[in-house]
Amino acid sequence: MANTLALPLSGGSLSDYTVANTPIAAPEKPAGGHAFNRVAYAAAHIVVDPLADNDPWLDRNIDWDRTVAFREYLWDLGLGVADAMDTAQRGMGLDWPGAQELIRHMQSAARNRKDALIAYGAGTDHLAPGPNVTIDDVIRAYEEQVAYVEGEGGRIILMASRALAAAAKGPDDYIRVYNRILGQVKEPVIIHWLGDMFDPALKGYWGSVDDMAAMTTATAIINDNAAKVDGVKISLLSAEKEIVMRRKLDPSVKMYTGDDFNYAELIAGDEQGYSHALLGIFDAIAPAASAGLDRLAADDLDGFHAILAPTVPLSRHIFKAPTRFYKTGVVFLAYLNGLQDHFQMLGGQQSARSIVHLAELFRLADEARVLRDPDLATARMRTILATVGVA
């Protein structure tokens, strides 16, 4: 059969698999735009130029046309774009000069359309952590990046800082840094709490290795500066912790789920509230995310879960430990779906997951109905299999 291929299993064996599921149809853009009842950002990846004559592990080789086109695709589906963040390999292949270039390109694209919701990570990644780095150094680094994003007219996602995690002696240092930066920003920001499963260098953020103690510090900072905080994105992969924090926030502050394991239930919410979304998985499942949010806005909770529930196993696989390598799966799915013509990444990160991992991703993507063109996806999977000797 045309859409049957032999996929590797753990242990070295092969098993035939036939693509069998009808893809979710991407909802057409309404004349007045999508009217979601949740704010939804997709953290977007970048596309590289695979034909650049350089050293791919060391040099930036970004394909700006395809990178912009991918964000246009997300906007057309009604999703906002969270840019220059970890999904874009920020601090993991994309340095601060590269992020500046990305922000310039995306702001130029966003100015051409009124429905372009976009925000950018501002952090301290140009400041290398070290024993001589002081809290004042961290503040100055944050101020530099915030000033750049604001100077380009962009919204800010205030990213967690590796340098602050290394320099801080306790919660008081976090309070000092965040109060200083939030007191200066021109418009409300989204604060990003990224767990150490995504970035081990952030272990002990907010001054404690205990998440609940850290949450107490973070919530106090946010609520004390509520007028300068649009929301907080929490990425701890724990629905329970997110709900606890959500209920402690000032009513004016949004919770943006970053939980790529439990996003459907958190976005749906409960009798005491719900989460908005700022998710890396929405890059990979954008049509399903858009269709599901359409159903939720129509008060069709069953329809929402029917669309998104099958995507959760896929997301949990993409974000499995070591979680920081999730970006490989996101870009692989973009390749399978014809959103880019190759499976290459900054820093050679396409090699960060095994062929067995990618084969299971292919199966789960079919079950989630997010292979846009099964024939194309199957052909491209065969190409990848051939590179590891699977005919």
pLDDT by residue for the chain (391 residues), tens only, comes to: 579 999 999 999 999 999 999 999 877 777 777 889 999 999 999 999 999 998 988 888 999 999 999 999 999 999 999 999 999 999 899 999 999 999 999 999 999 999 999 999 999 999 999 999 999 999 999 999 999 999 999 999 999 999 999 999 999 999 999 999 999 999 999 999 999 999 999 999 999 999 999 999 999 999 999 999 999 999 999 999 999 999 999 999 999 999 999 999 999 999 999 999 999 999 999 999 999 999 999 999 999 999 999 999 999 999 999 999 999 999 999 999 999 999 999 999 999 999 999 999 999 999 999 999 999 999 999 999 999 999 8
**Domains of the chain: total:** 1
Q: What is the DSSP letter of 195?
A: -
Give the Cα separation of 360 and 273 in Å (integer). Answer: 35
Q: Which residues pair with 42 in a beta bridge?
A: 81, 279
- 337 inside domain: no
10 Å Cβ neighbour count for 212?
Answer: 10
CATH code, domain with 256: 3.20.20.70
- 101 inside domain: yes
Q: Is-contact 55 49, C-beta < 8 A? A: no
Give the Å distances, CA to CA, from 108 to 27, 97, 125.
Answer: 26, 17, 23
- 14 inside domain: no
Q: Is-contact 168 139, C-beta < 8 A? A: no
Residues 258, 74, 38, 232, Cα dihedral to 10°: 30
Q: Which residues contact 203 (CB under 8 A, 6 or more apart)?
A: 165, 196, 209
Q: Which residues contact 65 (CB under 8 A, 6 or more apart)?
A: none
Global pTM value: 0.95
**3-class DSSP state for residue 44?**
coil
Give the Cα separation of 200 and 160 in Å (integer). Answer: 12
Domain of 279? 36-320
- Give Cα 83 distance to the centre of its chain: 8
Phi-psi region of 94 (alpha: psi -120 to 50; beta: other; left: phi over 0): beta
Q: Which of 133, 120, 134 is nearest to 44 (CA)?
A: 120
Radius of gyration of the chain, Cα coordinates, nearest whole angstrom: 21
- 271 inside domain: yes
- Strands 155-158 and 118-122: what pairing? parallel
- 292 inside domain: yes
- 129 inside domain: yes
- 130 inside domain: yes
211-224 vs 171-182: helix axis angle to the nearest 10? Answer: 30
Residue type, 268: A
Q: Is 270 exposed, middle or buried (0-12, 13-18, 19+ CB in 10 A)?
A: exposed
Give the Å distances, CA to CA, from 207 to 40, 165, 176, 216, 333.
Answer: 29, 8, 12, 10, 37
- 344 inside domain: no
